[in-house]
Amino acid sequence: MIDFWRQQLFQLLYNNRYLYWFASTIPFAGQWRIWQRLVLSRMKGNSALEIGCGLGDLLADAIEAGYKCFAIEQSEEMVDAARHNLQQRHLGKPDCIIQGLSQNLPFPNCSFDNVISTFPNEYIYDSKTISEIKRVLRPNGRLIIVFAAKLLPVNPVQLTLLLIPTLVYGHDTFVKGLESIKKNERNAPTDEIFVDYNVRFGEQIPFAEQGFHCQYERVYTYFWEAYIIVGETNK
């Protein structure tokens, strides 16, 4: 029953750009955009496909950084919002954002140097999605996923904010957040970013069967932590 109501909540967010903005900004103290931009330093080549572009912020960032980009997004509302975002930032063209499904990407083989996705939902567990990603990637192309991220309960404000995504994502979000801050205690708060490669997550994503070799990263500061997967295949 809880999973049903969470699913209904996600559908509501994806069909209302204003609720989506609120849910991805306020409960995460504005860090959502920082977590998205972790993708940029891991990209290579000169082209990218974003799967599930949401409001189009990361897509615009990648275009601004000089990448030739396309995006595919299932929600009609998010497609309109992302196109409006590009128009407001005077970047790209509206037709670079296509409404469609990750399981059926409307691009030729070997089209992109990068495929990127931030905070993907159930589609990332579908073998058809991973197969399609492999198909559209060029040889030695790169798949970059910001799999998850969260604030850490280092002060009363963040502790309160952590309760909000806990209601959405479940009890484990809160418990694991408490465990993380115990592991990451330092003498003083800092914005310095650290990376831990001794992690593993997202094991239900069918990378191996599609020939992806993945590097798993836990990226963290005193205030938050994010989980990133970088996958490559030689075709």
pLDDT of the residue at 201: 87
pLDDT of the residue at 181: 47
**Whole-Å CA distances, 68 to 12, 29, 104, 173, 224:** 31, 30, 21, 36, 31
pLDDT confidence bin for 183, thresholds 50/70/90: low
Q: Could you report the per-residue pLDDT of 148-175, keeping only the tens digit for each?
A: 888 887 777 776 666 655 655 554 544 4
pLDDT of the residue at 153: 77
Percent of the chain residues past pLDDT 90, beyond the cut: 60
Q: Could you report the per-residue pLDDT of 10-60, keeping only the tens digit for each?
A: 677 778 888 889 888 888 888 999 999 999 999 999 999 999 999 999 999
For residues 215 and 88, give the distance between their C-alpha atoms in angstroms, rounded to a whole number.
35
For residues 208 and 225, give the distance between their C-alpha atoms in angstroms, rounded to a whole number.
26
User: SS3 string of the chain?
Assistant: CHHHHHHHHHHHHHCCHHHHHHHHHHHHCCCHHHHHHCCHHHCCCCEEEEECCCCCHHHHHHHHCCCEEEEEECCHHHHHHHHHHHHHCCCCCHHHEEECCCCCCCCCCCCEEEEEEECCCHHHHCHHHHHHHHHHEEEEEEEEEEEEEEECCCCHHHHHHHHHHHHHHCHHHHHHHHHHHHHCCCCCCCCCCEEECCCCCCCCCCCHHHCCEEEEEEEECCCEEEEEEEEECCC
Q: Could you report the per-residue pLDDT of 110-158, keeping only the tens digit for each?
A: 999 999 999 998 899 999 999 999 999 999 999 999 998 888 877 777 7
Closest CA to 43 of 59, 64, 67: 67
Closest CA to 146 of 11, 32, 6, 16: 32
Radius of gyration of the chain (CA): 18
pLDDT of the residue at 171: 46
For residues 43 and 113, give the distance between their C-alpha atoms in angstroms, rounded to a whole number.
8
How confident is the prediction for the chain on average, in pLDDT?
86
Does CATH place domain 2-232 in 3.40.50.150? yes
The answer, yes or no, to whether residue 8 has pLDDT greater than 50, is yes
Residue with the bigger pLDDT between 16 and 77: it is 77
The answer, yes or no, to whether residue 4 has pLDDT greater than 60, is no
Here the tokens at position 207 are 């990378």
Closest CA to 52 of 26, 14, 88: 14
pLDDT of the residue at 184: 53
For residues 9 and 50, give the distance between their C-alpha atoms in angstroms, rounded to a whole number.
23
Here the tokens at position 79 are 């497609």
